[in-house]
Structure 1
Amino acid sequence: MELSPAPFFEDVAGGPAGGQAHWLMTSDQKRIRVGHWRPVGRAHGTVMVFPGRTEYIEKYGNTAQEFVNRGFAVLAVDWRGQGLADRLLENPRIGHVDHFTDYQHDVQATLDLADALDLPKPWYVVGHSMGGAIGLRAVIEKGCFAACAFTGPMWGIFFTPVMKPLSRVTAYWGTALGLGERTPPTTTLESYVLSQPFDGNMLTRDPDMYRMMQNQLNAHPELALGAPSNRWLRESLDECEWLMEQPAPKTPCLTFLGSHEQIVDRKAIRARMANWPNGTLIEIPNGEHEVLMEAPDVRGPVLDQLARHFRANQSNGASKLVST
């Protein structure tokens, strides 16, 4: 694989020294960006961070530092349609995907890069929110992760009783009527963290982490993303239904759920984990959607548990690279 350097905004990432980013071309000809960090000395393996919708590599600089401190290499990806990856619509602020399974092309390109860079095995995955949906399918289909973990995974989308039927009508009928590239009613093209004050936000209870997200987008507005398209919403609802129909994989799993979760469906997460024989669900009291972006007294223990989970499963041997 020929490596092509990509921009990496180390000024706002706050991650370990020596972080690098690369451009990758997927099998369906979309350009994505992948970043990685390595620890000094022998590594326990590589943690692949699968971010959520609207997110980007630099947002996980702090998480990368924490994992590197615990002896892991780290890789994170800008999915198609966000970060510095190819935006898919004329308006770059609309989050869009043609088919949710298209993200698996991004996963495969990322795995190919990890193999080309000889990132230490075994490989593990942490999927957050939308990345939790992408990651669960990858765990089911790829067979290359020794263990997996999820934080606020999007195995269902939370809607209020009033918004649930309206959202489904918008997603399915809007797309069927040729409005798939439009955004749902009441949504905005502004970035959530720039339009929503800290008070009342649904992401974190840590003002410092919220300020970090705001500073990153103010410094590099090209990373910002607003509402999803109707097509993205329809594809996501279909993917969540498919995921919930699948039997739990044999891969050891650790999932974290904030007790105040208001973005993804808590019932879906509890149901999925209740049927995962080799899985554990930990609920974080007073936690919001992003437990890895909570205050140090919350995210520190979460990261410790993730590190123990991965080290305990080093010998699983599920480190083959599955090509498609």
Structure 2
Amino acid sequence: MTPAPFNTLPGDPLPMARAVWLRAEDGIRLRAAHWAAGGASGSVLLFPGRTEYVEKYNAVALDLNAAGYDVLAIDWRGQGMSDRLLADHRLGHVERFSDYQRDVVELVVAAQEIGLPRPWHLLAHSMGGAIGLAALAGGLPVASAVFSAPMWGLSLSNIMTRIALGMVVVARTFGRHQGVAPGSGGAEPFVLKQGFLENLLTGDGTRWGRFVAEADAWPDLAIGGVTHHWLAEALAECRRLAEIPAPPLPMLAGLGDGERIVSAQAIRDRVAAWPGARLLDLRSCRHEAMMERPAVRAAFLEAATAHFAASQAGPASDRQDFHATG
């Protein structure tokens, strides 16, 4: 690990995070950030969603620090300050969805080298929820898991899914599989093109304003829509995840009543099939519970930290045999 940059906006307090560079076994350079609580009783491995970067979770990490948890978060390959995978850095892309598990491996190695206080817990949002579920199936050494609007399916009808897959086939036939998928937002960041009232992420105007300010100030961190290939990989991974057994650990999933990005039904189905799992239905909440209005945000984070505290450190939290799956 070597030091990496961590951005702030004018007026922000000095960063409490220590950012570092990691290197995946396939050579991809990754960035992670560690927020130390000081005398922590455990730690949270934070898996962000698509388009996101570690700075976005600074306020969340500080709240978790205040609750007694160290936090370690990552920029997934292809986004944030981690290596981009295409010449057009604005597009979301991955060669294989299972490649994200290589990133998880490096995050776990970093957590061990840092000496992250145990037990560890998983907190995963959106695409990070798909990556997180696959990692749990591979033995991710955590005592419990909390998901925020996990991407266990996309918010597409069966007809739209078939249309999307048909377009992927056409794009591949003509060598355009690395082109932007229609309907995914184009190459420009979503927050710079969409107004607050119609956005799908948050109902909190202040946090939306922060999203816009960050995208404007840090253009190299932001990405836009996804490639045809990413979409095909994501749909295939969601189908695969729907068939795997529930990992044997306590789980809580938060779902907003205004969810329009991931499949609410896929989340409900997974929770119903996961022994002892609990669904937290959040009113007046769009896609990002941790970036929502203060009351919604507090309800989710309080439920998450209560879930972590109630989860006993069993054998899974001490396992050293984590392996990538997918």
CA distance in 1 between counterparts of 2:118 and 2:9 reads 29
Match of 1:61 in 2: 58
Identity %: 40
For 1:239-250, list aligned pairs within 5 A.
239-250=237-248
**From 308, 311, 315, the counterpart of 2:309:** 311
Tell me the TM-score normalised to structure 1 length.
0.95
Measured after TM superposition, the shift of residue 126 of structure 1 is 0.9
Match of 1:163 in 2: 160
Match of 1:232 in 2: 230
Measured after TM superposition, the shift of residue 12 of structure 1 is 7.0
- Deviation sequence 1:41-68 (CA, Å, 0-9, x none): x212111110110000000011101101
* 8 Å Cα contact 1:53-1:129 kept in structure 2: yes
CA distance in 2 between counterparts of 1:172 and 1:44 reads 50
Match of 2:192 in 1: 194
Question: Is 1:89 paired with 2:86?
Answer: yes
CA gap of 1:77–1:15, structure 2 versus 1, over 3 A, is: farther
One-letter code aligned to 2:99: D
CA gap of 1:26–1:176, structure 2 versus 1, over 3 A, is: farther
3-state SS, counterpart of residue 318 of structure 1: helix
Match of 2:46 in 1: 49
CA distance in 1 between counterparts of 2:13 and 2:83 reads 24
Measured after TM superposition, the shift of residue 11 of structure 1 is 3.5
**From 262, 267, 277, the counterpart of 1:264:** 262
Match of 1:108 in 2: 105
Match of 1:254 in 2: 252
Match of 2:182 in 1: 185
CA distance in 1 between counterparts of 2:2 and 2:31 reads 10
For 1:288-299, list aligned pairs within 5 A.
288-299=286-297
3-state SS, counterpart of residue 213 of structure 1: helix
* 8 Å Cα contact 1:139-1:251 kept in structure 2: no
Match of 1:144 in 2: 141
* 8 Å Cα contact 2:141-2:322 kept in structure 1: no
Match of 1:32 in 2: 30
| Gap regions ≥5 residues in structure 2 | none
Measured after TM superposition, the shift of residue 17 of structure 1 is 4.7
Deviates more, 1:64-73 or 1:313-322: 313-322
Match of 2:117 in 1: 120
* 8 Å Cα contact 2:283-2:296 kept in structure 1: no
- Deviation sequence 1:300-324 (CA, Å, 0-9, x none): 1211111110011142242223354
Match of 2:213 in 1: 215
CA distance in 2 between counterparts of 1:312 and 1:15 reads 32
CA distance in 2 between counterparts of 1:13 and 1:120 reads 31
CA distance in 2 between counterparts of 1:136 and 1:60 reads 20
Measured after TM superposition, the shift of residue 176 of structure 1 is 4.9
Match of 1:204 in 2: 202
* 8 Å Cα contact 1:13-1:58 kept in structure 2: no
Runs of 4+ in 1 over 4 A off after TM superposition: 12-17
Match of 1:274 in 2: 272
CA distance in 2 between counterparts of 1:13 and 1:124 reads 32
Measured after TM superposition, the shift of residue 166 of structure 1 is 2.0
* 8 Å Cα contact 2:47-2:125 kept in structure 1: yes
CA gap of 1:5–1:153, structure 2 versus 1, over 3 A, is: same
CA gap of 1:97–1:13, structure 2 versus 1, over 3 A, is: farther
- Deviation sequence 1:284-310 (CA, Å, 0-9, x none): 112100011101111112111111100
Measured after TM superposition, the shift of residue 162 of structure 1 is 5.9
The aligned length equals 321
Question: Is 1:322 paired with 2:321?
Answer: yes
CA distance in 1 between counterparts of 2:15 and 2:181 reads 41
- Deviation sequence 1:165-192 (CA, Å, 0-9, x none): 3212123442354322011124411101
Cα RMSD (Å): 1.7
| Gap regions ≥5 residues in structure 1 | none
CA gap of 1:203–1:254, structure 2 versus 1, over 3 A, is: same
One-letter code aligned to 1:251: L
Measured after TM superposition, the shift of residue 143 of structure 1 is 3.7
